[in-house]
Amino acid sequence: MSEDLKKTPLYDLHVELGAKMVPFAGYSMPVQYPAGIMTEHKHTRASAAIFDVSHMGIVRLMGENAISALESLLPADLENLAENSIRYSFFTNDDGGILDDLMITKVPGGLSLVINAACKDADIAHIKSKIGDQVEVEVEYDNALIALQGPKSVDVLARFDARCADMKFMTFMTLEIDGVNCQVSRSGYTGEDGYEIAIPADKAVAIVRRLLDESEVEVAGLGARDSLRMEAGLCLYGNDIDTTTTPIEAGLLWAIQKRRRAEGGFPGDDIILKQITDGAPRRLVGILPEGRAPLRPGVEIANAEGEVVGKVTSGGFGPSVGGPIAIAYVASDYKTPDTAVNALVRGKEMPCKVVKMPFEQKSYFRG
Amino acid sequence: MSELKFSEDHEWILVDGDIGTVGITEFAQEQLGDVVFVEVPDEGKDLEQGDEAAVVESVKAASEVLAICDGEVIEGNEALVDEPSLVNSAPMGDGWFYKVKITDASQLEELMDEAGYKTFIEGQG
CA distances from A137 to A60, A70, A130, A260, A358 (A): 6, 11, 12, 24, 35
The reply to whether A238 touches chain B by the CB within 8 Å rule is no
Select from A20, A41, A292, A295 the residue whose CB has the most chain B CBs within 10 Å, as the one to mutate to test that interface.
A292
Q: Are A188 and A195 in contact (CB under 8 A)?
A: yes
pLDDT tens sequence across A215-273 = 999 999 999 999 999 999 999 999 999 999 999 999 999 999 999 999 999 999 999 99
Res. A334 pLDDT band, cuts 50 70 90: very high
Distance of residue B35 Cα from the nearest chain A Cα, in angstroms? 10
Q: Do A31 and B60 touch (CB under 8 A)?
A: yes
Q: Are B11 and B68 in contact (CB under 8 A)?
A: yes
| Peptide bond preceding A358 in cis form (omega within 30 of 0) | yes
Say what the pTM is.
Answer: 0.93
Of A31, A223, A317, the CB nearest to B36: A317
Res. A362 pLDDT band, cuts 50 70 90: low
Q: Which residues of B touch A (CB under 8 A)?
A: 33-34, 36-37, 39, 55, 57-62, 81, 84
Distance of residue B2 Cα from the nearest chain A Cα, in angstroms? 34
Select from A15, A38, A41, A312 the residue whose CB has the most chain B CBs within 10 Å, as the one to mutate to test that interface.
A38
Of A36, A41, A292, the CB nearest to B37: A292
Q: Dihedral of CA B36/B41/B42/B43: which sign?
A: negative
Residue A353 has pLDDT above 60, yes or no: yes
ipTM passes above 0.85? no
pLDDT tens sequence across A31-81 = 999 999 999 999 999 999 999 999 999 999 999 999 999 999 999 999 999
Identity of residue A138: E
> Which residue of B lies nearest to A40 if distances are taken between CA atoms?
B34
Distance of residue B13 Cα from the nearest chain A Cα, in angstroms? 25
What was the pLDDT predicted at B35?
96
- Chains A, B: CB pairs < 8 Å: 45
Residues of A in contact with B39 (CB under 8 A): 293, 346
Residues of B in contact with A296 (CB under 8 A): 61-62
How far apart CA A270 and CA A323 sit, in angstroms, is 40
Q: Are B62 and A296 in contact (CB under 8 A)?
A: yes
Secondary structure, 3-state, A24-72: ECCEEEEEECCCCHHHHHHHHHHCEEEEECCCCEEEEEECCCHHHHHHC
* H or E stretch at A276: helix A269-278
Q: Are A141 and A202 in contact (CB under 8 A)?
A: no
Q: Do B33 and A37 touch (CB under 8 A)?
A: yes
**Mean pLDDT on A304-323:** 96
What was the pLDDT predicted at B39?
94
Select from B27, B30, B36 the residue whose CB has the most chain A CBs within 10 Å, as the one to mutate to test that interface.
B36
Q: Do B59 and A296 touch (CB under 8 A)?
A: no
Q: Are A118 and A160 in contact (CB under 8 A)?
A: no
Q: The CATH number of B2-107 is which of 3.10.20.30, 3.90.1200.10, 2.40.50.100, 3.40.50.300? A: 2.40.50.100
Q: Do B59 and A38 touch (CB under 8 A)?
A: yes
Q: Are A86 and A364 in contact (CB under 8 A)?
A: no
